Amino acid sequence: MHHVVTPYGRAGPSSRVRVHSWLERVRAPVVSSSYVSHRNSSPGYLVRHPRAVLAAERRLRRMAFSRPSRLLLHREASPLSRGGLERRLIESAEFSVFDLDDALHEDWGEGALHRKLAPKGPKAYLAASRASRVIAGNPTLAEWASSVNDDVVLIPSCVDPGAYTAKSDYALNDPPRLGWIGSPDNEVYLGLLADVLVELNRKTGARLTLIGTTRRSLGELEHLIDRVPWSEKTQHASLATFDVGLAPLPDDPYTRGKCGYRLLQLGAAGVPVVGSPVGVNRSILAQFGMAAAEDSTEWLDGVVELLDSSRERRSELGRRARSVTWSDYSYDAWLERWREATGFERARQAT
């Protein structure tokens, strides 16, 4: 029997992409624990659902006591743990796999009180060093994992391009439509482009569509923003309406460990994009043949160049990105590798 532990339910992007979407593609019996089965484990949510938290903690301890034959742990078992629960789960299994898609090892308690009480760094270290195998989402994470574990497999975060509406009309919207998709926590990255977005709006009339939350959080930029609430259906259908996708990131140890999922979503929809060459983003942008922007001038020039390009040029770039996403970052392309790395049997192609 396979046991799977994730910190979030299917609505949580990380757990959906790294675990739940894979489980839909295999026919192995699974005992799954997704903590409180919510899209996140924020302190506010946990405080409002104490019974669910207590049930999750008990369930995880019972799982460890049952000594599973195979265990897949994604990120962390419990947001309340300091690493002991993760170690117990991993050491109880005959064969254990730790899946890592963020630089959790860089989190040693900076910031808010809850981060000080239960930092993710110690948990990541204990899980990675004691697991039978580590699956890392990009080369940066694989390099760190290899310093604490001899068995590391690199499997990128994947998308299902077939689920996305492919962009077919590359004529510009009027006004031009820039686009971004992500979680509320990551909207702050758009602040890096505040001056650029204001200037683009002034010069071209371009507006920005955000797929994520309807909560207004970007101050002076809100006058040029149209917000679309996130859902799986929305993300699959709406990206193709963008003329140019945006993928900004600051450059720091944590962001260098990100897996480029925003770029892959835009690529799956065939959308031309400008992005920050941080971590794995650099190589994905190079594969797509898209602009990598490191400062405001490069961002402005990169977006304007795409808006000024011919329809045929935007189409060429978008179709190339979609082709690369199919061949190098799709679930179909990596299914057998994932099955072998996790030990899940009887894999099947998604239908």
Q: Read off the pLDDT of residues 137-167 as tens digits, 9 standing for 90 and up.
A: 999 999 999 999 999 999 999 999 999 999 9
Over range 168-189, report the average pLDDT: 94
CATH superfamily of 161-329: Glycogen Phosphorylase B; (3.40.50.2000)
Examine the pLDDT at 10 and tell me if it is beyond 90.
no
How many alpha carbons fall within 13 Å on the CB side of residue 52?
Answer: 14
Examine the pLDDT at 114 and tell me if it is beyond 90.
no
State the pLDDT at residue 350.
Answer: 38
Over range 252-270, report the average pLDDT: 97
Q: Read off the pLDDT of residues 316-336 as tens digits, 9 standing for 90 and up.
A: 999 999 999 999 999 999 999
CATH 2.60.40 fits 2-158+331-342, yes or no: no
At 348, the pLDDT band (50, 70, 90 cuts) reads very low
Residues of the chain with CATH 3.40.50.2000: 161-329
State the pLDDT at residue 345.
Answer: 67
Amino acid at 93: A
Strand order in the sheet with 30-33: 30-33, 2-5, 70-74, 95-100, 133-136, 152-154
**Percentage of the chain lying above the pLDDT 70 cut:** 98
Q: Read off the pLDDT of residues 193-207 as tens digits, 9 standing for 90 and up.
A: 999 999 999 999 999
Examine the pLDDT at 130 and tell me if it is beyond 50.
yes
Query: How far apart (Å, rounded) are the C-alpha atoms in residues 121 and 115?
Result: 10
Q: If residue 303 lies in a helix (H) or strand (E), which one and from where to where?
A: helix 296-308
Q: Read off the pLDDT of residues 208-222 as tens digits, 9 standing for 90 and up.
A: 999 988 888 899 999
Query: Which two three-digit tokens encode residue 346?
Result: 């009887």
Residues whose CB is less than 8 angstroms from the CB of residue 135 and which lie 6 or more positions away in sequence, other chains included: 97, 98, 99, 100, 152, 153, 154, 155, 338, 341, 342
Over range 177-198, report the average pLDDT: 94
What is the maximum alpha-carbon separation in the chain?
63
pTM: 0.93
Query: How far apart (Å, rounded) are the C-alpha atoms in residues 261 and 249?
Result: 12
Mean pLDDT, the chain, rounded, equals: 93
Examine the pLDDT at 49 and tell me if it is beyond 60.
yes
At 346, the pLDDT band (50, 70, 90 cuts) reads very low
State the pLDDT at residue 247.
Answer: 98
**Percentage of the chain lying above the pLDDT 90 cut:** 83
Tokens 């490191």: give the residue: 294
Over range 112-123, report the average pLDDT: 84
